[in-house]
Structure 1
């Protein structure tokens, strides 16, 4: 059996050692006091007290540290020295035999394995029995008187030792289990922390993609258009392009500040989702020349009553779809529809562009970010498209999700 040396909380058997220490020193004191009133010669009394002193010092400086450190050499040295001191003390003063009640368990407390303790227990009982027999004059009658006591003492010592061994083993098992549970708890906490960090990174990536990246794309395209118009000598349209660039840059700056402070889009902070969608459509049409229409199949007050989290998801879906139309579709018209269905709130973005194969490997981060955001709200994303047939993106958020955020 193994014993913990460093624990946040010491095992029960270690915390109760103080009781063993008190009982041991108390019995030594009682034995020494009894010897002072016994009929012993001065020399025998001095030798007897010397043996008790040696035993007490050995217990203090060898046995007690060995019980904690589990070092075998000091434990073996103490037990052999203890057997010799007890046997010598009993030979001089037979009434001191009751010391066995405290020294027998020490053999087991200092043993790593049961089969080490049994021989030492047998050696202790034999040595003490021989000391008693020597004090009685080696007579046959004394032997038969002592033998039953020796057998009983050996049995009791072994049974007590087995019980001590079980207590220590169970204490060790519990300590190991507690240590494993604490390690598992720490690992779980670390895993949760890592998952939280990754989730926060993904959310930040989606927010940046849906706001800053798309705004920068608009600025780049407007700048390119302005440069082309300027090269053709068309000065008047350039001013409008520059004004659009300034507006987009200011909105991006506001979005960046909002990302630092919170995650609610700036556009929704002072307007309804309907107003923001119409504003997005107007700006997109002005920047690209694409005809963008917004259709509402639900009253404005119901739109305004949607939870903030749902409005953010619906707005981001529309923004991402428009960004894909700008970059890939080559469309001439786009229809944004917002309404209620038996399943919940639905927004649909349909274009007449070139389309694509939905089963082909996804390109870019946008569609994956949209799916991640919608699925976090308990919703679904459906993309219908085919080459040359345009694209339809439908985002549905269940009615139960309206309780969130």
Structure 2
């Protein structure tokens, strides 16, 4: 009945200290009581010798067998246990109460129920035979001892089966606990990995929506400045360089904001409507595209929006304008901010070349926008077709204050 816990030791070893104490106490009591019995000197010496042999066998064979679970020492100890108990009961029948601890040890050291059953039977027959020898081998003694032997065998089997069930249940609980702990560790690791990936994706979106777009503006402004210088237009080049400086400063501020938190610097210094107007003006100045900004929400309602929703709306507008700059070849862009029953929405519409939405579903910009909006509980609608411009509408749930 070898069952292991998480530490690789038998489950019942946690209670072995109690078994050790009971064994030594019962053995000592038996030895002491024998001195007050009617044993002659020879039998007293023989009885004490059997006690010493049993104690030594338990200390040097039984305990190592319990610890190592090796079959041969376990068999040797149990045979010595039965033999010593037979001698002790034959010399001093009152020592029969030691069968209690002997039956327990037999079951604890066995590997199977069958093995435990036949060793228990051997114990009962051996001790019963010792009692018959002590009583003189008479039929009257046999009929007197036989019921006791049968009861002892039944009790030993029931006790042993109960021990086996307890150990089996303990093993199952130990295995279940190990599995639960392992599952908990795996789940914690999965949550950690998912958190890391989500944080990476969020950082990627923030960098894409701020620093990358700012760098794109700087590159385009630098190219335009170079063209102005080649044409000899120093005033135009100066304006471009001033715009480059402003964009670089904003990028630097955004980078610092990314390190400190994820609230855009622009929103910490102005309202969403003001920031959207600035975005439109700067975009028009950089690209020459006519940008119209229509803000149907009063400033107080915009200010009442949760900061996270304002960030989603602003980043969506920035991403849409970045796509217009890169791909649309548009002449007009209209940014509209409004309120509906479903929440707050922002729409960016252009008259550019358009595209087939399904063909660019793997683009990082639109995917990042969609991911950011869906995290806030909102939705993104993209309507476009080649040659007919593009309309992107982002809807986020309105806060309770709005």
Q: Could you state the TM-score of these two structures normalised by the residue count of structure 2?
A: 0.95
Q: 8 Å contact 1:313–1:373 — kept in the other structure?
A: yes
TM-superposed CA distance for 1:68, in Å, is 4.8
**Quick one: structure 1 residues 269 and 61, their matched pair in 2 at CA, closer, same or farther if it must change by over 3 Å?**
farther
CA distance in 2, matches of 1:70, 1:113: 13
Instruction: Structure 2: give runs of 5+ residues left out of the alignment.
Output: none
Question: What residue number does 1:206 align with?
Answer: 205
2:173 counterpart of 1:174? yes
Aligned length: 401
Instruction: Structure 1: give runs of 5+ residues left out of the alignment.
Output: none
TM-superposed CA distance for 1:163, in Å, is 1.2
Of 102-111 and 195-204, the range deviating more from structure 2: 102-111
Question: What residue number does 1:149 align with?
Answer: 148
CA distance in 1, matches of 2:324, 2:386: 14
Q: 8 Å contact 2:342–2:397 — kept in the other structure?
A: yes
For residue 334 of structure 1, give the secondary structure of its aligned residue in structure 2.
Answer: strand
Q: 8 Å contact 1:307–1:403 — kept in the other structure?
A: no
Cα deviation 1:141-163 (Å, max 9, x = unaligned):
33332222211111111111111
**Quick one: structure 1 residues 168 and 68, their matched pair in 2 at CA, closer, same or farther if it must change by over 3 Å?**
farther
Cα deviation 1:363-382 (Å, max 9, x = unaligned):
53110000000000100000
Q: 8 Å contact 2:284–2:291 — kept in the other structure?
A: yes
TM-superposed CA distance for 1:78, in Å, is 1.6
For residue 263 of structure 1, give the secondary structure of its aligned residue in structure 2.
Answer: coil
TM-superposed CA distance for 1:137, in Å, is 3.0
Question: What residue number does 1:53 align with?
Answer: 52
Cα deviation 1:37-82 (Å, max 9, x = unaligned):
2232333322211221222233234334444543333322221111
**Quick one: structure 1 residues 20 and 363, their matched pair in 2 at CA, closer, same or farther if it must change by over 3 Å?**
closer
TM-superposed CA distance for 1:25, in Å, is 1.5
CA distance in 1, matches of 2:374, 2:38: 94
Paired residues for 1:6-405 under 5 Å: 6-7=6-7, 11=11, 13-399=12-398, 402=399
CA distance in 2, matches of 1:129, 1:10: 32
Q: 8 Å contact 1:2–1:172 — kept in the other structure?
A: no
Cα deviation 1:184-208 (Å, max 9, x = unaligned):
1111111111111111111011001
Q: 8 Å contact 1:356–1:391 — kept in the other structure?
A: yes
For residue 291 of structure 2, give the secondary structure of its aligned residue in structure 1.
Answer: strand
Q: 8 Å contact 2:6–2:175 — kept in the other structure?
A: no
Q: 8 Å contact 2:5–2:174 — kept in the other structure?
A: no
Q: 8 Å contact 1:70–1:112 — kept in the other structure?
A: no
Q: Could you state the TM-score of these two structures normalised by the residue count of structure 1?
A: 0.94
